[in-house]
Structure 1
Amino acid sequence: MKRISLYLLPAMLLLQLAAAQAQTINVSDTGTPESLLIAGKGATTTIYTDAADAAVVQVAANALQKDIQLLTGQTPAWQHSTSLSNTPIIIGTIGKSALINKLVASKTLQINNITGLWEAFTIQVIDMPVNGKKTKALVIAGSDRRGTAFGVFELSRKMGVSPLYWWADVIPAKRKNIFVNGQYTSKSPSVQYRGIFINDEDWGLQPWAARNLDSAVKDIGPRTYERVFELMLRLKANYIWPAMHPCTKAFYYYAENPQLAEKYAIIVGGSHCEPMLRNNVFEWTEHFEKEYGQKPGEWRYDVNKDQIYTYWKDRVIQSAQYENVYTVGMRGIHDGSMPGPKDVGEKVKLLGNVIQDQRTILSEGLHKAPAVVPQIFCPYKEVLTLYQRGLQLPDDVTIVWADDNHGYIRQLSTPAEQQRSGGSGVYYHLSYWGAPHDYLWLSTISPALISFELSKAWQYNARKAWIINVGDIKPAEMEMQFTFDLAWDVQAWPFEKAVDYTQQWARETFGPEFASDIARIKNKYYQLAAAGKPEHLGMRAFSEQEADRRLLAYRRIAAEAGALQQSIPARLQNAYFELVYYPIVGACLMNEKTALAAKSRLYAQDSSNKAALLADSATAAFEQIKALTQQYNTTIAGGKWNGIMSWHPRDLPVFQMPPTSVHPDTSKKGRAFCNIDTQSAPLLILAANSFTQKQEQQTTLQSATGLGYTANSITCLPVTAPSLANNEWEKASNVSYSATLPAGKRTIQVRALPTHRQYTGRGVRYAIGIDNNPPQVIDLEEATDNATWKLNVVNGYAQGQTEHEVTAGNHIIHIYFMDPGLVLNDISIY
């Protein structure tokens, strides 16, 4: 009989489950005849698991026991016995739990829709005989060990326990009773490996962990990872790239770390610069001599193959007992290019040899054929160039495409690459350290952008692995939760509906009475940040009018956040501060500091005291940022988060006090600050959705809220539609705008989301024409790291510019969507 690797299942499962029923499991305070009372007055609930079932099943059962206690004050019993109480909660994995197997054999429990699937589960209230009497039981059964755990945490979430209950202090409301009825059978997840990358932990997670959870080792260690792993299970994530900066010792340095990962059923991998589960910045640079009794040679495979080969082989043997995904390939010791020959062709050849040898190591160390060992290759930064120059990558290795570090995916699989057995995935940033500027302080990537890029990737068959760079986890909690909700069910949150996620999240986290207000505030926060992240303000230039409008908008949502804070229940005050108040008010204060300082310099020669007043206000905002962060670290949740938040990651100049008219010499050499741009304003700005006519041809035009810096935007679907040649503009879906213009030469600037073409041969093109004149075709694609791209990601838009000679009067401007992936924000006429 032919055996199918689990690694190859998801594409098949999506077809098998298309018609699967999606019933509902209901949790309420009042019961019906169909309900089971699992907690409350008169409840004698007992949780049952099989001692022979996986460790993560016991972890989940223990968590459910605590969750019920947190909600009701009652702690249900938990047993491994097969002798059931009158109101049992039976938790187990098909084939691993005697109780589940018995229920299946008697046809009391229906599992046809999940048998053999990856990480699927069913939650059912069933009728069954117990002690000679017919009673009800709540059954949570998983197709595999993680499926069981995910089913348990799905129930917890429905009972009112947020996945962020510990990480963001979301204390649930107390319940007098918990009744459960109905049934719910999940699909397999949309993405097989759904992971987080803890990164750039130097200013938050590492010092906090060293001071609090892992004070014994003064590092991110087992106690911290235990909390991380539970969070991941609650988010239905299953894969981790552990923290790996020089401030943190390697994951494998602490023997308990991989053991805990196995206990929690978390799959361990390594980042784009950590092949074969090795953490080079510690294990090669600092720890090698202690491990091997000799100093490490050069980190260069063509001159030091033997040492590097042994170093990789030993970790593979050490990790063989655990569930892993191995990163193959090679980069620098840390986040740099692979040392090797100067000739690019020779470097490509060397990288190919590296991967061949790594697969030999995997085969010999794991006693398996390489094709059944999960492996990823991440063409990050310069590695993409090597791949594009002809690297021969084994067909079963998963290509994990990277974004440009700012939320826009650089490349996706061609039609031919989509047929590879290894498939593809995405490495995506919610936090970043690097050019053109970091954004490590606040989390500002919107759900709409996350969905647009990752859903697009999924359509291009990037379904094997999504790894999300979450930085220090805080303050990216909501954005991380959205990403994993999307990874679990990609069709639940298409980009055109993703703006509504904030309301659902706020309802689940803070209650329905606060949901609309929080959603409105958060969505405006994302929109404002799309035109200039708080960390990027030193590189932005706004007109005085733009700066004033931004400040007014920020002050409005900050005031609304402050007013709403007064109504939030006491149990949720800490959560509200962490998830809403701090990022909103912090972003407002950063804009006040930079913009008011810039305005004070603008009015420095004014005879009034306006410049001095502006300087004082800017300084006050700077001091408030520090005070607010001090509150986060020392007051919120009784000091639980002491050390987690820094208002000045890497001590970058943008976080310091800018020069003002009062203190013009406070800047350090080379420091850049937000400036007031005095360029002339456009004659007219046309919003993307203000078109007078649209014509859909080979594609459908879709408007979206929350995608980019404007209120609405337009793109064409499907994202897999073919591109058109420049002379085929008449076949393109298009929108038309009416504009009354004076005679003369007019410059038209079209601004769009700074997305990238999906692969070589495509573009990010639009065609623009006025009236009946032939249109001009503009491609907005930019090579990552060039000057225009840097400007684009900081500004939040790519910009095309065309010249047109017009007569006085009314004119029709036509915009044609030549490539899928183009997202139109607005049109400015000068």
Structure 2
Amino acid sequence: MPIIIRSTTKCLAPNASPAVRFAIEDLHRDLHRTLEPSQSEGASIELVQQQMAAESYLVSVQHDSLKLRAGDDFGFIYGLYAISRELLGVHDLWFWNDQPFEQRAEVEVPDDLKLTSKPNAVRFRGFFINDEVLLENWRVSNDPNLPWRLTFETVYRLGGNTVIPGSGQRGEPHLQLARQMGLYINQHHACPLGARMFSAAYPQLEPKWPEQQERFEGLWQEAVAADPGHRTLWTLGFRGQGDTPFWQSDPRYTSDESRGRVLTQIITRQYQLVQASWPGAPCVVYLYGEVMDLYCKGLLQLPKEVITIWSDNGFGRMVSRRQENWNPRIPSMPHGSGRKGIYYHVSFYDLQAANHITQLPNDPHRLARELETVLESGGNTVWIINASNIKPHVYLLSLIAALWRDGQIDVDQATHSYIQRYFGSERSEQIASLFEQYWRVAIPYGPHWDDHAGEQFGNYVARTLIHQLLLNGRTADDAAPALAWMTQAPTLSQQIAYYYNLVEPAAARYRQLGERITKVSIQLRQSGNRQAARLLDDSLGLSTQIYRRSLAGAALVCQALQAAQKEDYQHAFYYAGLAREQYQSCNAAMREREHGVWGGFWANDCLTDVKESAWVCTQLMGYVRCLGDGPHYNLWKREFTYPADEKNVYVLTNMENHETDDEIFHAMKRAWQA
């Protein structure tokens, strides 16, 4: 006889740890979400402790109950979420993809049910919730902590066990919840050991080594003593008072040898402090940016038990990251002896060309092959995935989680499974085609397969070009030094032309993709599948709109700057106003997707910050109006607001208040768009 699971089903676990109780609460929530209220008693789910391999579980029917057997907290947690997924139909990304639920009366569980775990390909695996500005000011059910609980739940549902719960000291408010939920804690590479920043603890002192060694060690010892330790991956290292090399604030260290010597000394001391308190605790060093360079030159000597974390460049390629105009692309595929892992981005923030609020625009087949090579190269101890605000990146996160579980993936099959799971089978082939077109239309700004532009390219580069024009003044044509990574063009006008030739055709490609997405969305709605249509608009549709609007704005910025350089200030003003409208519409597109629980989610877009792009366009409008309409600001008023027979009659400068920039811009639109 099958046993019956009903909404009244209870988990029996009198000795469950606090971490397991979080998962039990989630399962009870899922029972009530998916099953109708019942007066009948449902079969119980009993948690049974027994000797088993770490993180493993077995779910089976025994007598009149469902038994979940495991040997540790992780096994019980994964088993509880397996019951939710396999018996109740709650998908791993249910929250982020707005999975709808239709309640059933009950679930019959056959006698021969067996839900079993298998070993994961990666030992420590999880998310770095970094650049988390969308999560920071957003609430679910008026609870600012609930987004974080749901995030940590998602780590578990995807088979993860590790988290960095926020950016540096901004993560501290969420650290306790992550610990309570039983996750392994790792630390930001800029905050070794999770210690307080020196400049925060001692704002009046310069953070110099070795002069302040005693104070630095005091902060490290404080962090080690405050941590429970048993579920911590300790990050060792030494950066500046922020995410920068330490020698930027201490220029005495001019040679690679001196820098490597300091890092070796500090990392060794940190390792000793950790091991003195927590013998055998795993310690990691992030070979990121400048540290990668020193390590590959043999100038960084690490304790042999330290796990080396090799990092991608922010775009999914295992090479060193570009920092400002320095881009040596040093291979960073794990190699050498010892235990190894990776720090890998689906979201990145570089103030140049990365993606932060949109899905990574690189070929997922390439990304999967890169990660499979990581495993083939021995990088299977730690995977920390920079997931930023989760929602824009759930598709790739699902693929990466499959890799950390299974060690390999068929991307096409996984993509179709993802689409059918969250969008349904209707028009799944069309939706899969849209996913493929998304990375095919991306801007190739460099020669490598990973050199595809994220949405920051349409914002930061445009703002930099505007800044340079204002800095140059009316006559100079000096190139923006900060854009040498993009082009070696020797003048600003050539930089503008180069950029325009990238963004203008790309805006058209994204417009066409957006039209295709809208067509499929309409077809889904017409057939009654409103949930799939809304999800398509929220995910791929929104990313595409952000690119379309940002790049259209960037192209208009180029036209404005080119007109300004020709002293055609009216058209410079006009194009800058049109560019501002595109960036404003980009922000509006995000805010329009804030339905239901997502109210306010996109409000704090402050890193890419399309609103700032609009504001910078406003500054350009004011500047060129000053040049073309000043000092009395009545010439454009006459041209665009006076009737023809009064434009050239100068009895008085003006008979009405001067128009604002917005009023002049709208008058131009009426005249030129008639």
**Band of TM-score, shorter chain:** 0.7 to 0.9
Cα displacement string for residues 515-567 of structure 1 (whole angstroms, at most 9, x for unaligned residues): 33332222221322364433324557349777655543443234333543555
* Counterpart for residue 359 of structure 2: 443
Work out whether residues 429 and 469 of structure 1, in 8 Å CA contact, stay in contact via their aligned partners in 2.
Answer: yes
Work out whether residues 406 and 432 of structure 1, in 8 Å CA contact, stay in contact via their aligned partners in 2.
Answer: yes
Paired with 1:663 and 1:600, the residues of 2 have a C-alpha distance of 9
Give identity over the alignment, percent: 21
Cα displacement string for residues 48-82 of structure 1 (whole angstroms, at most 9, x for unaligned residues): 22x223222222222111111101134799xxxxx
| Secondary structure of residue in 2 paired with 1:90 | strand
Matched, 1:121 2:84: no
Figure out how many residues of one structure are paired with residues of the other and give that number: 554
Amino acid at match of 2:596: A
* Pick aligned residue for 1:178 from 103, 107, 125: 107
Q: Which runs of 5+ in 1 are unaligned?
A: 1-32, 78-84, 96-114, 129-134, 215-221, 290-294, 670-830
Matched, 1:206 2:206: no
* Counterpart for residue 31 of structure 2: 68
Change (3 A) 1:516 1:612: farther
205-214 or 170-179, larger mean C-alpha shift = 205-214
Change (3 A) 1:213 1:545: closer
What's the C-alpha RMSD, in Å, of the aligned pairs? 3.8
1:314-353 to 2 correspondences below 5 Å: 314-339=222-247, 341-353=253-265
592-601 or 178-187, larger mean C-alpha shift = 592-601
* Pick aligned residue for 1:285 from 199, 215, 239: 199
Work out whether residues 93 and 145 of structure 1, in 8 Å CA contact, stay in contact via their aligned partners in 2.
Answer: no
| Secondary structure of residue in 2 paired with 1:378 | strand
| Secondary structure of residue in 1 paired with 2:239 | coil
Change (3 A) 1:515 1:172: farther
* Pick aligned residue for 2:6 from 39, 45, 48: 39
Change (3 A) 1:562 1:645: farther
* Counterpart for residue 771 of structure 1: none
Amino acid at match of 2:4: L
* Counterpart for residue 374 of structure 2: 457
Paired with 1:93 and 1:515, the residues of 2 have a C-alpha distance of 42
Amino acid at match of 1:583: S
| Secondary structure of residue in 1 paired with 2:524 | helix
Tell me the CA shift for residue 476 of structure 1: 1.7
* Counterpart for residue 419 of structure 2: 506
* Counterpart for residue 154 of structure 1: 82
375-384 or 205-214, larger mean C-alpha shift = 205-214
Work out whether residues 561 and 581 of structure 1, in 8 Å CA contact, stay in contact via their aligned partners in 2.
Answer: no
Work out whether residues 561 and 584 of structure 1, in 8 Å CA contact, stay in contact via their aligned partners in 2.
Answer: no
Matched, 1:479 2:396: yes
Amino acid at match of 1:208: W
Tell me the CA shift for residue 140 of structure 1: 2.4
* Counterpart for residue 359 of structure 1: 271
* Counterpart for residue 379 of structure 1: 287
Paired with 2:432 and 2:229, the residues of 1 have a C-alpha distance of 45
| Secondary structure of residue in 2 paired with 1:139 | strand
* Counterpart for residue 219 of structure 2: 311
Cα displacement string for residues 123-142 of structure 1 (whole angstroms, at most 9, x for unaligned residues): 22x343xxxxxx4x322223
| Secondary structure of residue in 1 paired with 2:199 | coil
* Counterpart for residue 607 of structure 2: 649
Work out whether residues 169 and 572 of structure 1, in 8 Å CA contact, stay in contact via their aligned partners in 2.
Answer: no
* Counterpart for residue 303 of structure 2: 394
Work out whether residues 47 and 69 of structure 2, in 8 Å CA contact, stay in contact via their aligned partners in 1.
Answer: yes
Work out whether residues 438 and 535 of structure 1, in 8 Å CA contact, stay in contact via their aligned partners in 2.
Answer: yes
1:197-276 to 2 correspondences below 5 Å: 197-202=128-133, 204-208=134-138, 212-214=142-144, 222-244=145-167, 249-251=170-172, 254=173, 257-276=174-193
* Counterpart for residue 487 of structure 2: none
* Counterpart for residue 69 of structure 2: 141
* Counterpart for residue 556 of structure 1: 516
Paired with 2:58 and 2:625, the residues of 1 have a C-alpha distance of 61
Amino acid at match of 1:183: K
Question: TM-score, structure 2 length as denominator?
Answer: 0.73
Change (3 A) 1:582 1:562: farther
| Secondary structure of residue in 2 paired with 1:327 | strand
Cα displacement string for residues 566-598 of structure 1 (whole angstroms, at most 9, x for unaligned residues): 556456676454334322333333344445776
* Counterpart for residue 121 of structure 2: 190
* Pick aligned residue for 1:528 from 406, 425, 441: 441
Change (3 A) 1:487 1:645: farther
Paired with 2:140 and 2:213, the residues of 1 have a C-alpha distance of 36
Work out whether residues 56 and 119 of structure 2, in 8 Å CA contact, stay in contact via their aligned partners in 1.
Answer: yes
1:737-756 to 2 correspondences below 5 Å: none
1:422-821 to 2 correspondences below 5 Å: 423-434=339-350, 436-445=352-361, 446-491=363-408, 493=409, 497-529=410-442, 531=444, 532-537=453-458, 538=461, 539=499, 541-542=501-502, 548-549=508-509, 551-565=511-525, 567=527, 569=529, 575-595=535-555, 621-633=582-594, 636-637=595-596, 640-646=598-604, 649-651=607-609, 655-656=613-614
Tell me the CA shift for residue 346 of structure 1: 2.0
| Secondary structure of residue in 1 paired with 2:400 | helix
Change (3 A) 1:208 1:320: same
Paired with 1:666 and 1:264, the residues of 2 have a C-alpha distance of 56
| Secondary structure of residue in 1 paired with 2:387 | strand
Cα displacement string for residues 594-642 of structure 1 (whole angstroms, at most 9, x for unaligned residues): 457768999999xxxx999999987765443232222234xx116x431
Tell me the CA shift for residue 480 of structure 1: 2.0
Question: TM-score, structure 1 length as denominator?
Answer: 0.60
Change (3 A) 1:73 1:468: same
Tell me the CA shift for residue 438 of structure 1: 3.9
Cα displacement string for residues 309-368 of structure 1 (whole angstroms, at most 9, x for unaligned residues): 0110111111035510000121112101123632321221221111221122112222x2
Cα displacement string for residues 173-219 of structure 1 (whole angstroms, at most 9, x for unaligned residues): 333432334313221111111121122234x22232599533xxxxx
Work out whether residues 502 and 523 of structure 1, in 8 Å CA contact, stay in contact via their aligned partners in 2.
Answer: no
Paired with 1:225 and 1:171, the residues of 2 have a C-alpha distance of 21
**More strand by proportion, 1 or 2?**
1
